Amino acid sequence: MADFVQQDQQEIPFEGRRTRVQARFRRGIFLLPAMMTSANLLCGYYAVVASVVGTPDDFNHAAKAIGIAIVFDSLDGRVARMTGSNTEFGVQFDSLADVVSFGVAPAVLAYSWGVRSVANLAPGALRQLGHFGWL
């Protein structure tokens, strides 16, 4: 049998010990930036759905939802840095939310708005728009 070297173990002072309450609180901190990112993603999703419905009020609501998503996007990074709860999953989740809110939602909004306005044109104006497109 090999001789094991016995190391001195020092006890952590009472003030430095973690309690269960601190551990639960620490777990809850990770929820704050995730909730902000989820709100960002939901605003983008709502903007896409409202754009597809396509009434003028829905276009207005979709544009406002994209603006609100900007607020949530700026808050989630700040909250994560302030609480020290940066994770690789959080970074990827934030990137996904940004793609939906600032890539897909504005594109669907612009496309839906453009298609609705072109559909209401007279046939002669639609033909002129087609010539302009080819130009």
Convert the pLDDT of each residue in 1-14 to its tens digit.
555 555 555 655 55
To the question of domain 22-134 being in CATH 1.20.140.10, the answer is: no
pLDDT digits (tens, 9 = 90+) for 84-116: 888 888 899 999 999 999 999 999 999 998 887
- pLDDT, one tens digit per residue, over 41-76 is 999 999 999 999 988 899 999 999 999 999 999 999
Contact call for residues 44 and 65 (beta carbons, < 8 A)? yes
pLDDT at 108: 96
Query: In the predicted model, is pLDDT for residue 124 greater than 90?
Result: no
Is pLDDT larger for residue 119 or for residue 50?
A: 50
User: Which pLDDT score, from 0 to 100, does residue 31 have?
Assistant: 85
pLDDT 10s digits, 26-44: 666 778 889 999 999 999 9
Determine the Cα–Cα distance for residues 37 and 55; give it in Å rounded to an integer.
Answer: 28
| pLDDT value, residue 47 | 97
CA distance readout (Å), 134 to 11, 110, 127, 128, 129: 79, 20, 11, 10, 9
